[in-house]
Structure 1
Amino acid sequence: AGIITISPEGTRNSGFRLFREGSAEEQRIKLNVGNGTTDSWNDGGVIDPTAGEWVHVAVTVSESETKIYLDGELVNTGTVAGGIDWTGVNSVSVMSGAPTFVEWDHLSDQSSMDELRFYNTVLTQEEVQAAMTEL
């Protein structure tokens, strides 16, 4: 299910897509970024939806790498190949891939979101942990 999509309409490999895939017992957080020609994947950590607990999800994206954090802990680092192209991006979809990204049936996300933040800099793990406790 789509969580956040920032991409031009009708493209599978440009912009930014954060989503989750899995089953009722296990959900994997995934990040996909691209430049329209090539894209890069980061298949992050696993969440247990049966636990019934909130999970803090944070991602950072630089020119060369992406990082996924769950509850303040780094779970995976991915390499960015070719950068990210924001051309044609004019909207942000939250809790759905629609309307700009509907491939792979990543439409409505039935989970709950409490807080969403965007930063214009790459946070360190310590900064991710501090932001997590600022509630």
Structure 2
Amino acid sequence: VQFLSAPNGTPLWVSEAEPGSVPDITAARMHCLSALYKAAADGLPTLADAGYQGAGIGIHHPFKKPRGSSHLRLHPDTQTRNALLRSVRALGERAAAELKERWRTLKRVTLSPNRIGPIVKAALVLNNAWR
């Protein structure tokens, strides 16, 4: 499930669920990247996790070390950028934690992805009404 949150960590939107084998970037391309590109063009960049590497302009994410380079270190500037992004993104991660912690049914879901999406969307509606 992909989600978008406000800068203060309030959950705003959740996508349909995809099977666990679908990478974040693929799910994002299917559900939300076009809207995020439009937002970036209007001056609202997006902070994302490292799974969005390669997403494109306006999507800011930490950089991962290239595969097979476990002996190499990222440049100190890149390490600092990653640390800053992760610290700011922590507020956005609050949205996922809020949904999972408030609605126990989302902690260990073993249903088919076709059935998870409506449950997560219902939790989002209830969560926003709870506020």
Specify the TM-score bucket, using the shorter chain as the normaliser: under 0.3
User: Whose strand proportion is higher, 1 or 2?
Assistant: 1
User: Whose helix proportion is higher, 1 or 2?
Assistant: 2
Larger radius of gyration: 2
